């Protein structure tokens, strides 16, 4: 090998090493794909992850620490995401220390296997917050629209989060157009949210596409504040209405009877203010089921609405199974909604609805 080749090889090695420091992880040929989510994926040993530890030591555990005081790996959540290599094949945990992070955050599709982890039991102390709405303009003068209003957008697969609040600070004014303001948009497949809080008013949670599991989480809003085309299970969640007068919880879109999608709410508590619908038929075949839920006396007696398209009454599946509370009386429900028996409700009652055995190890 001549000297020119040696120099070229040396330069390539130096560049590779520098790149490994830029992304925060050492260069490795190890490919370790774990196509499921477990409890370990949302746990960080806070006693081992000390700000005084060297970054190299933290990188061995594939943890990136975010702190507003500048003593960690990044002062912003987006900065931490940017440290993760493209097409990552191993779990990376972003440990976000308490504080309000005023930033607009995106996890691209090319960065799967990410976890956002806050301090255990302190979901309200770690907040990712922004304040865009659909009518706001981008740098080209074009309206953002609902989807681009999101404070946090997750496009990658196998994402999970715990002990974090996702917030959009826009306060919806009843009747004013362009007030849709998404706090969290989840479009990646196979995602889990455990003990998170999603806060907004109109269109708070864009549960867009994929299969998702929301467990022991708190979702707050007023109008269509859980909406999208996904197949998602909401289990043991608090669903809180902040409607002043009227509002709606779920707006599911399903455009074909063969689409295996829908929203299933199991053992959730629905409370708050206003007079709200359980769901609105955003699509011709919308599907939303509430099972074993507690309804405060805030539910519009009709329960459901067809989005001013009577033809959808024949094709939607809106149902309730053994719900209780002051808002659970079904005698005033629209005649095209269903009061389900056990066999009819069974497919929606647990993680089988989202094929959880294939991607959840909990």
**DSSP character string of 103-130:** --EEE-TT--SEEEE-STT-GGGEEEEE
Cα separation, 115 vs 53, in Å, equals: 21
Tokens at 147, concatenated: 């989807």
Q: Which domains does the chain have, with CATH numbers?
A: 35-361 (2.160.20.10)
Q: What is the mean pLDDT of residues 24-50?
A: 75
Among candidates 319, 272, 271, which has minimal Cα distance to 291?
Answer: 319
Q: Is the pLDDT of residue 48 over 90?
A: no
The DSSP secondary-structure symbol of 362 reads: -
- Confidence tier at 20 by pLDDT (50, 70, 90): very low
Per-residue model confidence (pLDDT) at position 173: 80
Q: To 5 degrees, how large is the angle CA 195–CA 199–CA 203?
A: 120
Grouping H, G, I as helix, E, B as strand and the rest as coil, residue 351 is helix
Cα separation, 181 vs 144, in Å, equals: 10
Backbone angles phi, psi at 68, to 5 degrees: -70, -15
144-178 burial code (b ≥16 CB/10 A, e <16): bebebbbbbbbbbbbbbbbbbbbbbbbebeeeeee
Is the CB of residue 95 less than 8 Å from the CB of residue 122? no
Is the CB of residue 105 less than 8 Å from the CB of residue 82? no
Residue-wise pLDDT for 102-155, tens only, equals 999 999 999 999 999 999 999 999 999 999 999 999 999 999 999 999 999 999
Is the CB of residue 348 less than 8 Å from the CB of residue 264? yes
Is the CB of residue 205 less than 8 Å from the CB of residue 198? yes
DSSP codes of every residue in 287-348: EEEEES-EE-TTB-TT-EE-TT-GGGGGT-EEEEES-BSTT---TTS-TTSEE--HHHHGGG
Strand-strand pairing, 360-361 and 304-305 = unpaired
Q: What is the mean pLDDT of residues 315-335?
A: 98
- Confidence tier at 8 by pLDDT (50, 70, 90): very low
Per-residue model confidence (pLDDT) at position 45: 86
- Confidence tier at 175 by pLDDT (50, 70, 90): confident
Measured in whole angstroms, how far is the alpha carbon of residue 145 from the centre of its chain?
19
Residue-wise pLDDT for 286-316, tens only, equals 999 999 999 999 999 999 999 999 999 999 9
Tokens at 172, concatenated: 């919806």
- Confidence tier at 46 by pLDDT (50, 70, 90): confident
Is the CB of residue 151 less than 8 Å from the CB of residue 168? yes
Cα separation, 337 vs 314, in Å, equals: 10
Q: Which residues are catalytic?
A: 224
Is pTM beyond 0.85? Reply is: yes
């Amino acid at each position: 090998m001549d000297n020119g080749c040696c120099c070229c090889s040396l330069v390539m090695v130096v560049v590779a090493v520098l790149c490994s420091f830029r992304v925060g992880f050492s260069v490795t040929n190890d490919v370790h794909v774990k196509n499921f989510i477990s409890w370990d994926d949302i746990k960080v040993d806070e006693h081992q992850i000390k700000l005084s530890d060297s970054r190299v030591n933290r990188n061995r555990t594939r943890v990136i620490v975010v702190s507003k005081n500048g003593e960690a790996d990044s002062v912003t959540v987006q900065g931490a995401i940017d440290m993760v290599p493209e097409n990552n094949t191993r779990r990376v945990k972003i440990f976000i220390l308490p504080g309000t992070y005023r930033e607009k955050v995106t996890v691209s599709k090319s960065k799967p296997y990410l976890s956002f982890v806050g301090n255990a039991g302190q979901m309200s102390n770690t907040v990712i917050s922004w304040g865009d709405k659909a009518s706001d303009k981008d740098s080209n003068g074009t309206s953002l629209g609902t989807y681009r209003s999101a404070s946090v957008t997750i496009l990658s697969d196998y994402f999970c989060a715990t002990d974090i609040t996702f917030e959009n600070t826009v306060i919806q004014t009843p009747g004013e157009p362009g007030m849709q303001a998404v706090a969290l948009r989840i479009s990646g497949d196979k995602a889990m949210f455990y003990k998170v809080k999603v806060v907004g008013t109109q269109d708070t949670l864009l549960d867009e596409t994929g299969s998702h599991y929301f467990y022991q989480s708190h979702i707050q809003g007023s109008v269509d504040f859980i909406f999208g085309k996904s197949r998602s299970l909401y289990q043991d969640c608090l669903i809180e209405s902040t409607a002043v007068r009227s509002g709606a919880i779920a707006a599911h879109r399903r455009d074909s009877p063969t689409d295996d999608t829908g929203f299933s709410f199991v053992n959730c508590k629905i409370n708050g203010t206003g007079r709200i619908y359980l769901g609105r038929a955003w699509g011709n075949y919308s599907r939303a089921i509430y099972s074993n839920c507690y309804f405060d006396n805030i539910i519009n007696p009709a329960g459901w609405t067809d989005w001013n398209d009577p033809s959808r009454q024949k094709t939607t599946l809106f149902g309730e199974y053994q719900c209780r509370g002051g808002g659970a009386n079904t005698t005033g429900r629209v005649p095209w909604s269903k009061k389900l028996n056990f066999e009819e409700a069974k497919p929606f009652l647990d993680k089988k609805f989202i094929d959880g055995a294939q991607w959840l190890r909990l």
